[in-house]
Amino acid sequence: MFLQLNRLMVLMQAFALFLLMAQFASAGSIGGGNFGRCEMLQSETTQVCESKGKKRSCEVIDSYCGGSGNDGSCSCLPDCESQGNCCADYAPVCAQDFGDCQSDSDQIAFLHLGGMCSTQWDYPGESDRLADVSGISGNAAAVEIKAVQTENAGTQVAAKTLTRYLDHCCTDSNSCVIYNYSNGDNVLGYALDRMATQDEVCSGKGKRRVCERSLSWNIIEVRTSAGAGGGSELSNWGSVADLFACDLASELSPSKVRNLYNHSNTQGVPIRHIGGFLDEVGSDDGTLNAGWWLLPWHSDGAVAFHSAGARNSTVEWCSDLWFPPLWCNREDICDSRYGSLYQGHEMAFCGREFRNSDHYDQKMEFIEQMGQ
């Protein structure tokens, strides 16, 4: 009898994952898989040289823009757009067009960075939108980051794209606020730790010469909703997760994500978090309810408290379990017994502010809380 029940539970979990990942897959992607990016990672860059001797000049190629798509089968031609090549997905980035962002213009740019399997923030026909900046005095703009988070290296690829926006929109006289969702948490964290653009200021001469480096990006703060910086246990299903979502899905397990970069190296940028959870009533989305059964206490159906709460460990603490049903009464994501936060991270809202706010609801929660 026990074996039959155990087998039934496994089947139920597999079916739940099927439903959950099928929903993620419909969240929107251009090209999908390994298609549709114009970025080269450091391991992919090539050096092209011309002439010889003193006339020899070399250039490091670090972008697919203007050349073959990264799948090797399509170039930046109109008849290739349906295949999800770099021009179809990334034309603005390739052309150094960053929307309403104006470099060195005393502008405050509100950047929007999406999550796993996405290529943008605002999808037509869906409830998500960019923040309303009409109430901000001075020169302000809402900017959507077109970063492709679909392939195995989607976090690193999107991080490189993000740096292009940050270099253009958030330097010199400009400053930025970043709205960040789901795996965007990892994209930003990776960019800060591994790809940050820095300024160097030196004083003195000779042996007394001292140089200091500081972050070039003027980021006021980061507002992260349902952050996946701690990883999701759903990704432990490996290739099954890939099958129903995108190639990036299996790369977001807690062990992989937590070892991908130094989460505490925020370069002094304050990163504020909010996180929701499903109570005993559950979500109105059946797929997230299914995901809840595969995650630790508490979760929004896609990521648990240890991830959304920026905890430096995956320890899930709970007390006051009552039965039936087995339920954890400790519902404050800020409770210290859930563990310590990574350095440079803090919770923006505590208590039961986002009770029964699932992973999809969370995307817009920070924007709405800030009255934008």
pLDDT digits (tens, 9 = 90+) for 312-351: 988 766 654 444 445 566 678 888 878 899 999 999 988 7
Give the model's confidence band at 291: pLDDT under 50 very low, under 70 low, under 90 confident, else very high. Answer: confident
pTM (two decimals): 0.83
Give the model's confidence band at 254: pLDDT under 50 very low, under 70 low, under 90 confident, else very high. Answer: very high
CA angle 108, 114, 119 (to 5 degrees): 110
In this structure, what token pair is assigned to residue 183?
């795996």
Q: What is the pLDDT of residue 71?
A: 45
Q: What is the pLDDT of residue 195?
A: 93
Q: What is the overall mean pLDDT for the chain?
A: 78
* Predicted confidence (pLDDT) per residue in 350-365, tens digit: 877 777 788 888 999 9
Percent of the chain at pLDDT exceeding 70? 73
Q: What is the pLDDT of residue 296?
A: 77
In this structure, what token pair is assigned to residue 165?
């926006």
Q: What is the pLDDT of residue 235?
A: 85
Give the model's confidence band at 17: pLDDT under 50 very low, under 70 low, under 90 confident, else very high. Answer: very low
| Alpha carbons 208 and 187: distance in angstroms, whole number | 39
Q: What is the pLDDT of residue 310?
A: 92
Q: Which of 340, 348, 346 is nearest to 368 (CA)?
A: 348
Give the model's confidence band at 37: pLDDT under 50 very low, under 70 low, under 90 confident, else very high. Answer: low
- 3-state secondary structure at position 57: strand
If one compares 282 and 198, the residue with the highest pLDDT of the two is: 198
| Residues recorded for the chain | 372
Give the model's confidence band at 21: pLDDT under 50 very low, under 70 low, under 90 confident, else very high. Answer: very low
- Whether 54 shows a pLDDT value over 80: the answer reads yes
Q: What is the pLDDT of residue 115?
A: 92
Is there a contact between 70 and 34 (Cβ–Cβ < 8 Å)?
A: yes
Q: What is the pLDDT of residue 239?
A: 55
Percent of the chain at pLDDT exceeding 90? 37
| C-alpha pair distances (Å), 308 with each of 104, 223, 262, 276, 296 | 34, 12, 17, 8, 12
If one compares 68 and 372, the residue with the highest pLDDT of the two is: 372
- What does CATH list as the number for 12-29+98-369? 3.40.50
Q: Report the range of poorest mean pLDDT among 37-46, 119-128, 139-148, 251-260.
A: 37-46
Q: What is the pLDDT of residue 345?
A: 97
Please give the DSSP secondary-structure letter assigned to residue 100.
T
If one compares 209 and 66, the residue with the highest pLDDT of the two is: 209
- Whether 240 shows a pLDDT value over 90: the answer reads no
Q: Domain coordinates of the chain in residue numbers?
A: 12-29+98-369
Q: What is the pLDDT of residue 352?
A: 72
Q: What is the pLDDT of residue 108?
A: 97
| Alpha carbons 257 and 146: distance in angstroms, whole number | 22
| Alpha carbons 19 and 289: distance in angstroms, whole number | 10
Q: What is the pLDDT of residue 348?
A: 93
Q: What is the pLDDT of residue 134?
A: 93
If one compares 82 and 110, the residue with the highest pLDDT of the two is: 110
Q: What is the pLDDT of residue 213?
A: 83
| C-alpha pair distances (Å), 363 with each of 17, 68, 108, 120, 307 | 21, 34, 21, 13, 15
Residue bearing tokens 């505590």: 350
| Alpha carbons 162 and 156: distance in angstroms, whole number | 10
Half-sphere exposure of 279 (CA within 13 A, CB side): 11
- Whether 66 shows a pLDDT value over 90: the answer reads no
- Whether 20 shows a pLDDT value over 80: the answer reads no
Give the model's confidence band at 120: pLDDT under 50 very low, under 70 low, under 90 confident, else very high. Answer: confident
How much is the average pLDDT of 195-218?
85
